[in-house]
Amino acid sequence: MLVRENSEGEYSGQGGRSHVGQPWEAATEVAMFTRVGIERIMRFAFEVAQSRPRKLLTVVTKSNSMRNGMVLWDQVAAEVAKDFPDVTWDKMLVDAMTVRMVAKPQSIDTIVGTNLHMDILSDLAAALAGSIGVAPSSNLDPTRKNPSIFEPVHGSAFDITGKGVANPVATFWSAAEMLSWLGEKEAAKQLMDCVEKVCAAGILTPDLGGTSNTQGVVDAVKKEIERLV
């Protein structure tokens, strides 16, 4: 499970350019980290880890070279950890984390990181799982005061538009996450059970080494769902 802060951090849109067109042109990109934002994502990440069987959390950082925002990030993580004594947690630099994900994925369960770091690591995780076409995402408001958004990790993929080879698994999985968030956990489980049966039967799109197409996978999942009715 990857938990990404997506309201601040490196993608805050703060900064600017000066002396445009001059040899000494300069640009700045300011990463904004707030205590309230960090505590919110850390508390949510610890709660997620606590709800999972292994109760294991890795906090991704880069505080060895980013000596302000990332130091605050580490500090707040340590503070929040005190409220979750049953969760085992560790801290790892983002570059070392890429190695760990590839070499020792079994040592990881839940990961929390900044906007930029998890943007990169989530794509790596999807590739390790077989294809970015299977990875779901949930943009959540932990307070539930605002709507949440559920969508595949992959983008629009205009290069394969109309070819019928897009993998629909990530869309199904995103729908399952939405159902779970809305309290329909049994429906979410049933949907994913159907998807897993189809994949286990070898009905796969080319990105996973299969020979089926998008519609073929969708139809197969529909048949599995209809058997439940």
86 pLDDT exceeds 90?
Answer: yes
Q: What is the pLDDT of residue 156?
A: 85
CA atoms lying within 13 Å on the CB side of residue 132 = 12
% of the chain beyond a pLDDT of 90: 96
Mean pLDDT of the chain: 96
Is 222 considered catalytic here? no
Q: What is the pLDDT of residue 157?
A: 84
Question: What mean pLDDT is predicted for residues 156-177?
Answer: 94
Is 11 considered catalytic here? yes
Is 185 considered catalytic here? no
CA atoms lying within 13 Å on the CB side of residue 129 = 17
Residue 207: burial class (beta carbons within 10 Å; 0-12, 13-18, 19+): middle
**Hey, how many other C-beta atoms are within 10 angstroms of the C-beta on 139?**
13
229 pLDDT exceeds 90?
Answer: no
The pTM (predicted TM-score) of the whole model is: 0.90
Q: Are 45 and 5 in contact (CB under 8 A)?
A: no
Q: What is the pLDDT of residue 19?
A: 98
Q: What is the pLDDT of residue 164?
A: 94
Instruction: Give the active site residue among 74, 91, 109, 119.
Output: 119
Instruction: Give the active site residue among 123, 193, 197, 207.
Output: 123
Question: What mean pLDDT is predicted for residues 204-210?
Answer: 96
Question: What mean pLDDT is predicted for residues 19-27?
Answer: 98
8-18: pLDDT as tens digits: 999 999 999 99
Question: Which ranges constitute the DSSP H helices of the chain?
Answer: 35-51, 69-81, 94-103, 115-128, 169-181, 185-200, 214-226
Instruction: Give the active site residue among 11, 55, 109, 207.
Output: 11
Which token pair is 158? 């205009």
Instruction: Give the active site residue among 83, 90, 95, 219.
Output: 95
| Chain mean position to CA 67 | 25
Which token pair is 176? 């399952």
118-165: pLDDT as tens digits: 999 999 999 999 999 999 999 999 889 999 999 999 888 898 999 999
Confidence of residue 181 (pLDDT cuts 50, 70, 90): very high
34-69: pLDDT as tens digits: 999 999 999 999 999 999 999 999 999 999 999 999
Q: What is the pLDDT of residue 155?
A: 80
Q: What is the pLDDT of residue 11?
A: 96
Burial 144-163 (b: 16+ CB within 10 A, else e): eeeeeebbbbbeeeeebeee
Q: Are 56 and 22 in contact (CB under 8 A)?
A: no
